[in-house]
Amino acid sequence: METQVVFEKCDGSRVTEGMLQEASQLFSEHYGVWSEHAAQMFGNFPKAGSHVRLGQERFRADYLPDDTTCSYGKVTVNGRLVGNVFACRWAYDGKTICWITQLVVHEDYRERGLATGLLNRLRHDDDDIYGIVSSHPAACLAAAKAFGSSIGTVRLGYIKEYAEGIMKASPIRYVKDAKLRGSLFDPEDASGLVSSVDTGFWVDHTEPLEVLAWARALPPASSSPVAKSPTSSPKDPSAHAAAISQASGDHPDEIPCWSEPCRSVFVVTISGRRSSVPSSRAYSIGSVHAGIANRKDFVPGRLVAGCVEIGAYNRDDAAHWPCFPDVDRVAGLVVGGVCDDGDRYESSDVLRPSGRVERVLDGLLFSDLWMLWRRSAGAALKRWD
């Protein structure tokens, strides 16, 4: 069955009670759980470890207050709500602020780029400043990708100068009342915080801290190529396509991949015996504009890439790639590209390689992929730069 992913957005004034009821259920089941500190602060309720819940009336009052400019976005997979986002816009010092006030993705649908997709669809050309307050690193990373380039390019000096004024001007109560914390705002702050706020909301941080540890292990984002190609450029599609088809994959300099955002990544598990396949995973990376890594880019001992046929810069471009929605086709192309002499594996005594798609990750940077590769290939994997 073809997976149908649908993104929708609307003005806050058009959000119905039914939509809020859905949002309330998604939040109450997948936002997070109360911490031990919450129980200590407020008594027996809320109970530590119980899900944080928010009713639809509270949703409208807190995230869609009267006389505000708010937006709502959601994403469904095969008709099922799996993620949503609330945002509010206001003016400050002649600039338009777009603040993400709530972002939730279903636990079973995370690490697929849905959060970044939701945020991308909220962007307006006349927005000047984007902001978010979240205890979850994944939300901050998604916002950095959607509104900038990576978390490493966020300008702390700008935050230090303008955060207080912008937040105090917000019509959203929890943003307006939040207290700035961290060494960025107070040089004498010894808590270890840098750029943080205290909202008095005692959600448990166990799972977010695990994600934070993963995020800290990522190499810093770079504007330099992952692998240089002396003979082609993504700005010259014809020459780039020729370079892809002619590259042997024997040396990193021949691989036409750039460290720009990679909007579609298929993670495929390969099963079967194949001595020259160095790992159990293959990744197809690239974009419709920059080209896809060629099918021979599988350097012994290092995980590189999959097939030239796979990839789309975003969901809107998916129609240009017939195999995009067909996960079985994706798996076949990846395995066929890596094991291009697979026709030899026909005898009953040798298991022919096969593959299946584990998940689709949208909105990843190549710097994120290095972490995935390290997990699969081990600590010996090194960057080519």
Q: Give pLDDT tens digits for 270-307.
A: 444 333 333 333 333 333 333 333 333 332 222 233 32
- Between CA 373 and CA 169 the distance in angstroms is 44
Q: Mean of the pLDDT values across residues 255-260?
A: 30
Q: What is the DSSP string of 69-84?
A: EEEEEEEEETTEEEEE
- Among 30-39, 189-198, 217-226, 357-366, whose mean pLDDT is lowest? 217-226
How many residues appear in the chain?
Answer: 385
Contacts by 275-283 with C-beta closer than 8 Å and gap 24+?
276/300, 277/338, 277/339, 277/353, 278/302, 278/303, 278/377, 279/303, 279/376, 279/377, 280/376, 281/376, 282/306, 282/334, 282/335, 282/337, 282/338, 282/355, 283/369, 283/372, 283/373
Question: pTM of the full predicted structure?
Answer: 0.57
Residue 129 has a pLDDT of 92
Amino acid symbol at 140: C
What lies within 8 Å, CB to CB, of 48 at 6+ separation is: 33, 34, 35, 36, 38, 39, 204
Residue 137 has a pLDDT of 81
> Which of 171-175, 230-234, 278-282 is most confident?
171-175
- Between CA 150 and CA 96 the distance in angstroms is 22
- Between CA 185 and CA 181 the distance in angstroms is 6
Residue 5 has a pLDDT of 86
**Who has greater pLDDT, 141 or 86?**
86
Q: Which residues pair with 33 in a beta bridge?
A: 51
